[in-house]
Amino acid sequence: MFEELKKQIDAIDGLRDQTAVSGGFARWRKQTEETLKSLYGDESAEVREFTSIYYTPLFLSCRMGDEAFDEAYRNGLEEARTLLSAIVEKVKRRS
């Protein structure tokens, strides 16, 4: 299962050219969430932390352009990478 998490981390680079509403991103997010649930349980801190990551702006304004959405999406992906990498490292240290 932890190999699956590593695959999800590696897949992040391929998602950078997509958007938060793309099918590829939706599949990646769902697969990652399901992997975390199977490893830690549905109500675990790891699942809650992953599902709390925002990939779109928190606040919207009529003056916001596409750049705000692109930036929020990229920031969300990097936050996910950091979280998933920390989980994998924690498991490595225990082994």
> What would the pLDDT profile of 1-56 be if each residue is shown by its tens digit?
789 999 999 999 999 999 999 999 999 999 999 999 999 999 999 999 999 999 99
83 membership: H or E segment, kind and range: helix 66-94
Cβ neighbors of 1 (< 8 A, separation 6 or more) are: 35, 38, 39
**C-alpha to C-alpha distance for 15 and 22, rounded to whole angstroms:** 9
Q: What is the pTM of this model?
A: 0.91
